[in-house]
């Protein structure tokens, strides 16, 4: 995006908060402003200079744009306490912007990831002059960051390094090879997860505090809007996420909570876009990444879409043409956008696949079946030993491309340590759109263990594309707030019902692959917190507490293990587009 545009900026503007703290802002103003005009602001821990081009762009479109360093970061005063500080501070920033001479009293917000969260946090404080928010890839704190489904993510320390102190550590943060090596060294050491910060560099108080709260509780609840606060949000909202966005669970949780609790008129003003994007590309769509090529319709001009949204909600402009209905989602493989009135309406029906096998389905070359009738065979089993720090898959993880959706190296390495099931070839092209769900009858011979479930499309040539994933710690099989250790070897019912959203056309002759494996192996080549299966506090357990676990999955009429596949709505000319509808948003590279 060119920065040769009609905008000027003022650096080092100080914004006073109610407690006297001064936040640093860079203000971008149109060269020939419509004065006063609606304004857009964003709060960031990543230093205001990072978003310079965005500021120039929006100001060149006539919208004053204010980038603010959050408390304790960049040139702002105070101490940085991730997430928890942003609600009150965001409220004060919005109200300060509304009082400026270049503002007409209407303020919108912008930002992705942490900046997306800041919008929800600010909105829950109900600033009088906040007119709209556009949260992109926004985490729901305690659900998908700093842990996923109560399984902590080592990545959090990488992120804390990026946001430590007041300056940027972007190069250190981006050195994925070094971080992967550090995670591998910790994984092999047998040390408790609580020691990870010391092993990497130095103790981190915030990391230690978060580990004290391994599941949703009052500590985490205070970060996100309450049902009552969602209910007060009448403003137009545009939520943006991607099928491969690491914060998709959080973005959709905010969306669902608002739709569930908002007053009757609010859901019609909340729009949702789910593209074929990962976390980064929710803001900068690209036609190829992760080893997969997407169609030209997937690449939309996200800046232009934002500008059109702000013009519609704050300037009485026309509604963006792209937003045909409240929910827009891209069907991978078919290269088209489709539309629905609700997220639930994306799925027409669910196809039932029963898990079955004739031999132990613990190897990719002797897998089980995803069949149309309940299974009859004996249980399938795998054994996972956290005491084996030199297992070949540990090194395979460190060498795998963590951004790849097609890499099968770890799956090929984990022979005997996972369960794999394949469907029959699809007889026709079929659209899979929505959320998978797996009901599995499982027995384990330890108090606890972690499961990682992934679903893949397998092409005629054997190549694989990851579609969706879920993770579950056995002690939380009754709910994320209800830990209960396993005290029986009888099969128990496990519901994997937090799969990520996906929309993809499965071509004729292609198959589905279901993998159930130990979570400790990886999250698509990024190490996860290691559960030593002992039943104690997972963050404090070490190799001294480790217990090897035998996992048995049952698939009989008495204990039917079932995969439910979300099938998309029949195509119609009214609800899908191969790019014509979004032609005004095609990416410009000036």
97: left (phi over 0), alpha (psi -120 to 50) or beta: alpha
Closest CA to 515 of 427, 403, 393: 393
3-state secondary structure of 211: helix
Fold classification of 348-568 is: Jelly Rolls (2.60.120)
Which string of b and e fits 199-230 if b means at least 16 CB within 10 Å?
Answer: ebeeebebbeebbeebbbeeebeebbbeeebb
- The sign one gets for the Cα dihedral 246, 247, 248, 249 is positive
To the question of pTM greater than 0.85 for the whole model, the response is yes
CATH: 3.40.50.1820, 3.40.920.10, 3.40.50.300, 1.10.260.40. Which one for 7-143+219-320? 3.40.50.1820
Q: What is the 3-state secondary structure (H, E, C) of 362-387?
A: CCHHHCEEEECCCCCCCCEEEEECCC
C-alpha 95/C-alpha 118 separation (Å) is 15
Instruction: Characterize the bridge pairing of strands 147-148 and 151-152.
Output: antiparallel
Spatial neighbors of 573 by CB under 8 A, at least 6 apart, are: none
> Cis before residue 146, ω within 30 degrees of 0?
yes
Closest CA to 153 of 279, 18, 50: 279
Q: Which two tokens stand for residue 128?
A: 């009088």
Q: Which two tokens stand for residue 419?
A: 């369960």
User: What does the pLDDT profile of the chain (590 residues) look like in tens digits?
Assistant: 344 557 899 999 999 999 999 999 999 999 986 689 999 999 999 999 999 999 999 999 999 999 999 999 999 999 999 999 999 999 999 999 999 999 999 999 999 999 999 999 999 999 999 999 999 999 999 999 999 999 999 999 999 999 999 998 999 999 988 998 898 889 888 999 999 999 988 889 999 999 999 999 999 999 999 999 999 999 999 999 999 999 999 999 999 999 999 988 888 899 999 999 999 999 999 999 999 999 999 999 999 999 999 999 999 899 999 999 999 999 999 999 999 999 999 999 999 999 999 999 999 999 999 999 998 989 999 999 998 755 555 555 445 555 789 999 888 888 889 999 999 999 999 999 999 999 999 999 999 999 999 999 999 999 999 999 999 999 999 999 999 999 999 999 999 999 999 999 999 999 999 999 998 654 444 578 999 999 999 999 999 999 999 999 999 999 999 999 999 999 874 466 654 444 345 443 32
CA 218 to chain centre: 22
Through-space distance between the first and last CA atoms of the chain, rounded to whole angstroms:
6
């Amino acid at each position: 995006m060119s920065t040769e545009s009609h905008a000027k900026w003022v650096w080092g503007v100080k914004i006073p908060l109610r407690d006297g703290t001064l936040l640093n802002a860079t203000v971008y103003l149109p060269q020939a402003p419509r004065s006063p005009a609606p304004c857009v602001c964003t709060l960031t821990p990543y230093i205001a200079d990072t978003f310079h081009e965005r500021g120039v762009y929006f100001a060149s479109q006539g919208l004053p744009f204010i980038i603010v360093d959050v408390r304790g970061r960049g040139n702002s005063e105070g101490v940085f306490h991730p997430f928890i500080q942003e609600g009150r501070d965001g409220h004060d920033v919005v109200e300060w912007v509304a009082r400026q001479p270049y503002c007409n009293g209407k303020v919108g917000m912008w930002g992705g990831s942490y900046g997306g969260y800041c919008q929800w946090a600010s909105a829950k404080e109900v600033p009088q002059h906040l007119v709209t928010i556009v949260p992109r890839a926004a985490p729901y704190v305690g659900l998908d960051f700093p842990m996923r489904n109560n399984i902590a993510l080592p990545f959090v320390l990488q992120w804390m390094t990026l946001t430590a102190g007041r300056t940027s550590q972007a190069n250190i943060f981006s050195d994925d090879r070094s971080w992967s090596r550090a995670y591998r060294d910790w994984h092999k050491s047998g040390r408790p997860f609580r020691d990870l910060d010391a092993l990497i560099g130095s103790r981190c108080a915030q990391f230690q505090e978060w580990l004290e709260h391994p599941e949703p509780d009052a500590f985490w609840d205070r970060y996100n809007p309450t049902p009552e606060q969602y209910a007060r949000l009448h403003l137009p909202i545009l939520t943006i996420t991607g099928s491969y966005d690491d914060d998709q669970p959080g973005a959709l949780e905010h969306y669902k909570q608002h739709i569930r609790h908002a007053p009757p008129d609010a859901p019609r003003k909340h729009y949702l876009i789910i593209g074929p994007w990962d976390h980064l590309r929710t803001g900068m769509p690209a036609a190829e990444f992760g080893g997969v090529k997407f169609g030209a319709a997937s690449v939309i001009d996200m800046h232009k879409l934002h500008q059109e949204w702000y013009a519609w909600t704050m300037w009485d402009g026309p509604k963006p043409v792209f937003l045909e209905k409240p929910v827009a989602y891209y069907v991978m493989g078919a290269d088209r956008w489709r539309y629905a009135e609700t997220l639930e309406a994306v799925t027409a029906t669910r196809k039932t696949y029963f898990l079955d096998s004739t031999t132990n389905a613990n190897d990719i070359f002797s897998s089980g079946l995803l069949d149309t009738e309940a299974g009859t065979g004996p249980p399938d089993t795998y054994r996972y030993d956290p005491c084996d720090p030199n297992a070949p898959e540990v090194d395979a993880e460190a060498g795998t491309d963590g951004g790849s959706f097609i890499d099968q190296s770890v799956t090929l390495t984990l022979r005997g340590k996972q369960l794999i099931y394949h469907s029959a070839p699809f007889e026709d092209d079929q659209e899979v759109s929505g959320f998978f769900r797996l009901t599995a009858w499982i027995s384990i011979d330890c108090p606890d263990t972690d499961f990682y479930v992934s679903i893949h499309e397998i092409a005629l040539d054997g190549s694989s594309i990851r579609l969706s994933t879920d993770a579950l710690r056995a002690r939380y099989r009754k709910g994320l707030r209800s830990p209960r250790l396993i005290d029986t070897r009888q099969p128990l019912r496990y519901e994997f019902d937090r799969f990520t959203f996906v929309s993809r056309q499965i071509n004729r002759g292609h198959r589905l692959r279901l993998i159930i494996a130990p979570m400790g192996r990886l999250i698509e080549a990024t190490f996860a917190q290691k559960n030593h299966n002992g039943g104690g506090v997972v963050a404090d357990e070490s190799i001294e507490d480790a217990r090897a676990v035998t996992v048995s999955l049952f698939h009989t009429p008495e204990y039917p293990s079932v995969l439910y596949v979300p099938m998309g709505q029949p195509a119609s000319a009214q609800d899908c587009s191969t790019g014509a509808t979004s032609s005004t948003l095609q990416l410009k590279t000036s």
